A and B are shown apart, each in its own frame.
Chain A
Amino acid sequence: MKTVFLGNFGARPGVWEAILAKTTEKLDVSVLFDLGDSQCLIPALAEAEIVVSHIWKKDFPEAPRVKLLQSVAAGIDMIDVPSLPRGVTVCNVAGHEQAIAEYVILTALAWHHRLIDIAASFRGGVWSTGGGAGGGPTHGEILGKTIGIVGYGKIGREVARRAVGFGCRVIGANRSPIADKGDASEIYPLTELDRMLPLCDVVVIAAGLGPETTRLIDAHRLGLMKSAAFLINIGRAGIVDEEALYTALKDNKIGGAAIDVWWQYPTPDQPNRHGSRLPFHELPNVILTPHCSSATDGARDRRFSTVAGNLDRYVRGEKLNNIVLQT
């Protein structure tokens, strides 16, 4: 079965080999990292029945035989669905949700406990940034706090499960109605997000990027949040208005933010490019990470198992898992 691993994630050294090592069925595999290499891309897509990639571009060459597009990521925002041939099943992967939920709880705790400030100044010999032995000010805790999750899917449920263990109240907002709330106490329709935001001490952006969520968190909605609220974005940067968030943080209209997903990414020319054209990295009330909340060893292992399992299932003619859509 002709299978091509494509792009800077699926065809990355270490990734495709690890996925193949988990498969049991025989595959005829080619690997193409550089999507700009049309000399290789044209013949590869002409023959492939299975494509493992998180990207499908409008200008991709003909791919008449492809039946399965298996992403190695959860979001399909880099897949241009209209330009896919008819009859393609697009599948994504899960297994990242537990890792991201850990990141959400970690950053919520680190913010309330002022961990970064206290640990950094204590490293410099100052006892009084934290209270206790140094007699400094107290810090916060998450016990009794309200966590609002925008986009109550797999990640939201995993966050809720963990947060209730800390005595947090969890609420959420979701585009489509939710039958099983899990550990959340209330789920608002996304259209009523403005009623939820003022209640939250922590707001977690866990939605996918789509027409309803693009720039969903704008200056007005940031203004609805508590002045001490903490915003965590592990969804997609495009959900949050870049300038409005920068201004809100700089002017202390909200308490702080943890940002893992960015409005711009490094390029081969600019490997250390900042994630925004605005200097978020100079703000003291921001925790910044390089789109790595899901980059745990466990999440990779779970994702690779999901991909390998689906490749085997396709070859055997069995029902696929994690189907997102069919063209």
Chain B
Amino acid sequence: MKALFLGGVAADTHAGIKDELPPGLTSAVIGEPIDRSKLPDAALDADILVSNHWRADYPPAPKLRLVQSVATGTELFDLAALPKGCAVCNSFGHETAIAEYVVMAMLALHHRFFQISGEFRERGSWATSWVQSGKPHGEVRGTTLGIVGYGRVGREVARRAAPFGCRILAANRSPRERDPEVERVYPLTELDRMLPECDTVAICTALGPETTGLITAHRLALMKPTAFLINIARGQVIDEDALYAALSGNKLGGAAIDVWWQYPSQNDPTRRGSRHPFHELPNVIVTPHNSGWTAGMVRRRWDEIADNIGRFARGDSLINLVTKT
């Protein structure tokens, strides 16, 4: 049995799990940048593909039966280019790290953390302190958090936010059983009823036809003018122009943005995440799509991938099955 680890993340994964792979499994590793000349031989007899992508112009891989994504999203796999009968599985382990980021961003925004700690460090300003007559900052206790997309990440956010005394609402495409910490799960079609209630809105949904451009200018206007928006999902869930207009026009309280509308490329490694200068807005926390990128996440993801390869080798049922080709 042979596994092909293809791409940079897959090569790192191989290094992390090689001692846990089933005996008798051979591995071919093609890291970043991908050497296309090695691909035909490596693909021809591979039973397992571990990667974040598969392209239509790749050479045939007729024996593939398990396609194990190193990420949660599988949109970079061209399913039509894979042989029939492949199980496509994804991996998680990021949800707890992202949930930490969401709660952290919510706290930082309500507490005006960057402004207060920045001005104290840079200018020795005590203006927000009790020793001067500083304007109090906010807290999350008693505020309403709305979670758009109540999946793995959303649930972990709710679990962590509830002990702070937040009221928690959620909206989800498919019906979800309500966990005790959530007051109500709206259908996504009734999102417009949830948004005006929220002091913080966290976008935790997958990108799909129902969620592309979901947060429009109209929906941003339904939010409280003091509300904070946190996006850890995908940039395209939010209308880029509308969000910039709302934030720069102070129609929203602020935002934490981890996912972007455009990404750096080899030719343009410092490309900004948006054609608008979000990075110049004082009420926005910007991070480079790394909310889930913790050491713990990498370890958990490796464990899941090693587990699934072991299951496949033994003929056991797989975890994290997304689809079959």
Are A and B a genuine interacting pair, yes or no? yes
Q: Total number of A-B contacts with CB less than 8 angstroms? A: 204
Binds B, one of A24-32, A137-145, A148-156, A316-324: A137-145
A152 to B253 alpha-carbon distance, docked (Å): 35
Is there an interface contact between B141 and A98, defined as CB atoms closer than 8 Å?
Answer: yes
B160-194 interface mask toward A, CB cutoff 8 Å, 1 = contact, 0 = none? Answer: 11111100000000000000000000000000000
A272 CB to nearest chain B CB (Å): 4
Residue of A nearest to B9 (CB): A135
Residues 116-161 of A contacting B (Cβ, < 8 Å): 116, 118-119, 122-136, 138-144, 161
Is there an interface contact between A130 and B290, defined as CB atoms closer than 8 Å?
Answer: yes
A167 to B269 alpha-carbon distance, docked (Å): 36
Q: What A residues does B123 contact at CB under 8 A?
A: 272
Is there an interface contact between B131 and A288, defined as CB atoms closer than 8 Å?
Answer: no
Residue of A nearest to B129 (CB): A290
Is there an interface contact between A289 and B141, defined as CB atoms closer than 8 Å?
Answer: no
**Given A125-B272, A292-B116, A132-B292 contact (CB < 8 Å):** yes
A290 to B111 alpha-carbon distance, docked (Å): 13
Is there an interface contact between B141 and A133, defined as CB atoms closer than 8 Å?
Answer: no
Is there an interface contact between A105 and B142, defined as CB atoms closer than 8 Å?
Answer: no
Is there an interface contact between B287 and A122, defined as CB atoms closer than 8 Å?
Answer: yes
Is there an interface contact between B129 and A292, defined as CB atoms closer than 8 Å?
Answer: yes
Is there an interface contact between A290 and B279, defined as CB atoms closer than 8 Å?
Answer: no
Is there an interface contact between B296 and A141, defined as CB atoms closer than 8 Å?
Answer: yes
Q: What B residues does A161 contact at CB under 8 A?
A: 163
Is there an interface contact between B97 and A127, defined as CB atoms closer than 8 Å?
Answer: no
B255-266 interface mask toward A, CB cutoff 8 Å, 1 = contact, 0 = none? Answer: 000001001100
Is there an interface contact between B279 and A122, defined as CB atoms closer than 8 Å?
Answer: yes
Q: What B residues does A129 contact at CB under 8 A?
A: 288
Binds A, one of B43-51, B59-67, B101-109: B101-109
Is there an interface contact between A105 and B137, defined as CB atoms closer than 8 Å?
Answer: no
Interface check A82, CB cutoff 8 A: no
Interface check A179, CB cutoff 8 A: no
Interface check B267, CB cutoff 8 A: no
Q: What A residues does B165 contact at CB under 8 A?
A: 98
Which of B100, B164, B279 has the most chain A CB within a 10 Å cutoff? B100
A133 to B291 alpha-carbon distance, docked (Å): 10
Is there an interface contact between A122 and B286, defined as CB atoms closer than 8 Å?
Answer: yes
A98 to B134 alpha-carbon distance, docked (Å): 19
Q: What A residues does B279 contact at CB under 8 A?
A: 122-125
Is there an interface contact between B290 and A295, defined as CB atoms closer than 8 Å?
Answer: no
Interface check A287, CB cutoff 8 A: yes
A288 to B111 alpha-carbon distance, docked (Å): 14
Residue of A nearest to B162 (CB): A165
B21 CB to nearest chain A CB (Å): 22
A105 to B124 alpha-carbon distance, docked (Å): 24
Residue of A nearest to B300 (CB): A143
Residue of A nearest to B97 (CB): A141
Is there an interface contact between B104 and A274, defined as CB atoms closer than 8 Å?
Answer: no
Binds B, one of A190-198, A247-255, A297-305: A297-305
Out of A110, A266, A274, A300, name the residue touching B131 (CB < 8 Å): A266
Q: What A residues does B113 contact at CB under 8 A?
A: 106, 110, 289
Out of A119, A138, A266, name the residue touching B287 (CB < 8 Å): A119
Is there an interface contact between A138 and B295, defined as CB atoms closer than 8 Å?
Answer: yes
Is there an interface contact between B131 and A8, defined as CB atoms closer than 8 Å?
Answer: yes
Interface check B37, CB cutoff 8 A: no
Binds B, one of A9-17, A57-65, A306-314: A9-17
Is there an interface contact between A298 and B142, defined as CB atoms closer than 8 Å?
Answer: yes
A123 to B287 alpha-carbon distance, docked (Å): 8
**Number of residues on chain B facing chain A (CB within 8 A):** 63
**Given A115-B287, A289-B120, A135-B128 contact (CB < 8 Å):** no
Interface check B132, CB cutoff 8 A: yes
Out of B101, B121, B138, B295, name the residue touching A288 (CB < 8 Å): B121
Out of B111, B163, B290, B292, name the residue touching A136 (CB < 8 Å): B290
A261 CB to nearest chain B CB (Å): 10
Q: What B residues does A9 contact at CB under 8 A?
A: 130
**Given A122-B287, A143-B96, A290-B264 contact (CB < 8 Å):** no
**Given A115-B104, A130-B287, A139-B264 contact (CB < 8 Å):** no
Q: What B residues does A105 contact at CB under 8 A?
A: 103, 107, 164
A93 CB to nearest chain B CB (Å): 12
Interface check B224, CB cutoff 8 A: no
Is there an interface contact between B290 and A140, defined as CB atoms closer than 8 Å?
Answer: no
Interface check A56, CB cutoff 8 A: no
Residues 78-136 of A contacting B (Cβ, < 8 Å): 98-99, 102-103, 105-106, 109-110, 112-113, 115-116, 118-119, 122-136
Which of B96, B129, B270 has the most chain A CB within a 10 Å cutoff? B129
A125 to B278 alpha-carbon distance, docked (Å): 11
Is there an interface contact between A292 and B114, defined as CB atoms closer than 8 Å?
Answer: no
Q: What A residues does B134 contact at CB under 8 A?
A: 290, 292, 295
A266 to B125 alpha-carbon distance, docked (Å): 9
B275 CB to nearest chain A CB (Å): 14
Is there an interface contact between A165 and B159, defined as CB atoms closer than 8 Å?
Answer: yes
A74 CB to nearest chain B CB (Å): 11
Q: Would you mind naming 11 contact pairs between A and B with Cβ atoms under 8 Å apart? A: A123-B286, A127-B270, A129-B288, A130-B293, A139-B294, A165-B159, A165-B163, A166-B160, A271-B132, A281-B124, A299-B136
Q: 19 more A-B contacts (CB under 8 A) besides A116-B117, A295-B137? A: A9-B130, A102-B139, A105-B103, A106-B104, A109-B107, A118-B288, A126-B270, A127-B264, A130-B290, A136-B290, A141-B100, A165-B159, A165-B160, A266-B131, A274-B124, A281-B124, A290-B120, A291-B131, A292-B128
In the A-B complex, the 4 residue pairs with the closest CB atoms: A130-B290, A131-B293, A132-B290, A133-B289
Spell out A's residues near B (CB within 8 Å): 8-9, 12-14, 73, 98-99, 102-103, 105-106, 109-110, 112-113, 115-116, 118-119, 122-136, 138-144, 161-162, 164-167, 265-266, 271-274, 281, 287-292, 294-300
